[in-house]
Amino acid sequence: MGRIVGIDLGTTNSLVAYLDPQTKTPKCIEGPHGSTLCPSIVSLDPDGNVIVGEAARRRLLTQPERTIYSVKRLMGRGVKDVQDELKLFPFRLDPSSSNVIRVRLGEKVFTPPEISAFILRELKNWAEAFFGEPVDRAVITVPAYFNDAQRQATKDAGKIAGLEVLRLVNEPTAAALAYGLHEKQRGKVAVYDLGGGTFDISILKLISTEEGDIYQVLSTNGDTHLGGDDIDNLLQAFIHEKILQTDEIDFSPHGEIAQELRKALIAIKHELSEKESAILRFPLPGGKVFTQEFTRGALDALIRPVVDRTIPPVKLALGDAKLKPAEIDEVVLVGGTTRTPLIRRTVQEFFGRTPHTELNPDEVVALGAAVQANILEHGVSNMLLLDVTPLSLGIETYGGAVAKIITRNSPIPASAQELYTTGVDNQTGIDIHVLQGERELAKDCRSLARFTLKVPPAPAGLPRIEVKFLIDANGILQVGAKDVRTGEQHSIEVQPSYGISDSEIERMLEESIEYAEQDFAERQAIEARTEAESILTATAKALATEQASILPAEERAKIESA
């Protein structure tokens, strides 16, 4: 059996880490170019050779039609889900595919898991070169917002890359693991994760017991279209407009000049994290040089709207955890964007405490994945992870209402079961309609799966149907239904080929709040109608029995005419 590693499969960069057996601390592995960061970029040369990482990044300028980046945004999603994102990317989808995403790079097409597998295989090669022996197992991190389809797509990518994915771990949970190993902190922790393309906030509870350490995710929230890229976009748009005004030079946002400008502005942004001012000198066509001085104050004013957008999700996550900012004991910053001084000040002012920045924010998630990999490899029993499910799961009940079986932010792995019965006489089957969402009616939630459980004909209300939901440690859902009287049962693993988009999760949560009063009224009406129909059915049955003859004729007439 080969070595095991922890992998952060990121939107912008990916990393691979291991636990050093001598120091008992996690460390990231450097690639051949001397950096621990592997750009999450894949390119295909004219001969069909796959190029990954830094070399692929350079081809963004020269071969944009053969190069793809940010493929993580496409994982586990359908063509209809990503129309807005595609406007921002230069690469093309294969038009022959239905709703399954296939990206065209030159003459070949690839699915997102295949492209992610190229990145994973590159990291696998780094690790094998470092260890001098095979690497065949991994713990891979995923955003807390990833749904079943996106998690399954990540596992598929690992399998294609020749890795057995032992566990998928939420990125904020991995960050807490990394700091838990170093700091041995206990209490409630907020993990503020601002990466290149996404923002996640997670509230965790770290508990030390006689049995060991428990890392429980109390709640998660975020914005799937918010990150360092938005800051870079603001800077680029600002300078682009300045160049247009002063030098009357316009250029394509995906062209070579734009890419070089973006690279220069990212360097300025990094410089302003260390200094109070910096000067941009950017060569233009025709021998001109555009010059612009930046101060940290001017940068703060420009990017303040982006930074402020991170606070509402933080408040929602705290609300879900039933906590106030002052009740948070520790704050952890994750993601290279959190090096920005304005972000650190904003987080410190909101929580009233200095955030942890001891570990490299680019590496902390991979380091946590390595800790979890070590736990799984050596069977360490004194450390337990409790992630949560991002949306409620349930089934459709009679009349179109939703019965939630596992609620949002429930710790996983998890299982729950409920008993149901038939609504009409002599039913021969029970339709189990599995739903995901926060609304009260089935029509407003997302359909995950359907199956039918056969039951013998019987009077309404007599059969006892046990419905059981089971979510494993990777967040994959299995649903089963069993006729308690006959033992007949049926189960299904929910593994859609593409799933709900991250932004749709946010929309569903927002709508559940917006339409809460209306949904509750409709649900009450459905339940009242269902109860009335049940009473009418029972009354009709009673009138058909011999005992009904004792009713006075006048009373019987009133009932039948009602």
Interval 296-307: pLDDT, tens? 999 999 999 999
Tokens read off for 304? 């303040």
Q: Return the percent helix, strand and coil in the chain, to nearest 5.
A: 40, 30, 30
What stretches of 115-185 adopt beta strand conformation (E)? Answer: 135-142, 164-170
Distance between CA 144 and CA 438 in Å, rounded? 17
Query: Averaged over 368-383, what is the pLDDT?
Result: 78
Asked if 376 and 504 count as a contact pair (C-beta separation under 8 A), the reply is no
pLDDT of residue 170: 84
Dihedrals φ, ψ of 516, to 5°? -55, -50
Q: What is the pLDDT of residues 219-254, one digit of tens each?
A: 888 887 788 888 998 999 899 888 888 877 776 665
Two structure tokens written together for 276:
């109070």
Concatenate the DSSP letters of all residues of 464-495 into one string: -EEEEEEE-TT--EEEEEEETTT--EEEEEE-
Q: Is the peptide bond before 413 cis (omega within 30 degrees of 0)?
A: yes
Distance of CA 207 to the CA centre of its chain: 25
Please state, in angstroms and rounded to a whole number, the distance separating the CA atoms of residues 174 and 197: 18
3-state secondary structure of 349: helix
Count of CB atoms situated within 10 Å of the CB of 454: 12
- Specify the 3-state DSSP secondary structure of 358: coil
pLDDT > 50? residue 381 = no
- Residue 237, Cβ neighbours under 10 Å: how many? 12
Rounded to a whole number of angstroms, the distance between the first and last alpha carbons of the chain is 75
Instruction: Give the whole-angstrom CA distance, residue 412 versus residue 300.
Output: 39
Nearest 5°: the CA angle 54, 57, 61 is 145
pLDDT tens profile 543-557? 666 555 666 777 767
Burial of 108 (0-12, 13-18, 19+ CB in 10 A): middle
3-state per-residue secondary structure call for 453-464: EECCCCCCCCCC
DSSP 322-341: T--GGG--EEEEESGGGGSH
Confidence at residue 126, expressed as pLDDT on a 0 to 100 scale: 97
Distance of alpha carbon 471 from its chain centroid, rounded?
A: 16
Judge whether 188 and 204 are in contact, CB under 8 Å: yes
Residues whose CB is less than 8 angstroms from the CB of residue 468 and which lie 6 or more positions away in sequence, other chains included: 415, 416, 417, 479, 480, 481, 482
Establish whether the linkage from the previous residue to 32 is cis, with ω within 30° of 0: no
Question: Residues 173, 368: contact at Cβ < 8 Å?
Answer: yes
Average pLDDT value over all residues in the chain: 83
- Work out the number of other CB atoms within 10 angstroms of the CB of residue 479: 22
- The answer to whether the beta carbons of residues 11 and 72 sit under 8 Å apart is yes
Compute the half-sphere exposure of residue 459: CA atoms within 13 Å on the CB side of its CA. Answer: 5
Residue 340, judged by CB atoms within 10 A of its CB (0-12, 13-18, 19+), counts as: buried
Q: What would the mean pLDDT of 373-391 be, rounded to a whole number?
A: 69
| Residue 402 one-letter amino acid | V
| Burial status of residue 557 (CB atoms within 10 A of its CB: 0-12, 13-18, 19 or more) | exposed
Point out the residues that are catalytic: 8, 72, 171, 193
What is the phi/psi pair of residue 467, to 5°? Answer: -105, 125
> Is residue 380 over pLDDT 70?
no
Neighbouring CB atoms inside 10 A of 384's CB total: 16
- Percent of the chain whose predicted confidence (pLDDT) is above 90: 34
Kindly state the average pLDDT of the residues 203-229: 77
**Could you tell me which of 323, 311, 445 has the C-alpha nearest to residue 391?**
445
Q: How many CA atoms lie within 13 A of 128 on its CB side?
A: 15
pLDDT (tens digit per residue) in 151-183: 889 998 999 999 999 999 888 889 988 887 435
CB 145 within 8 A of CB 390: yes
Residue 536 confidence (pLDDT) above 80: no
Q: Which of 162, 164, 142 is nearest to 151 (CA)?
A: 142
How many other β-carbons are positioned within 10 Å of the β-carbon of residue 25? Answer: 13
Residue 101 is which amino acid? I
Residue 496 confidence (pLDDT): 42
Distant-in-sequence, close-in-space partners of 260: CB < 8 Å, separation ≥ 6: 61, 282
| Residues found in the chain | 562
Which of helix, strand or coil describes residue 526? Answer: helix
Res. 498: pLDDT tops 60: no
Predicted local distance difference test score (pLDDT) of residue 116: 96
| pLDDT recorded at residue 449 | 80
Query: How far is 177 from 378, CA to CA, in rounded Å?
Result: 16
Residue 225 structure tokens? 């279209």
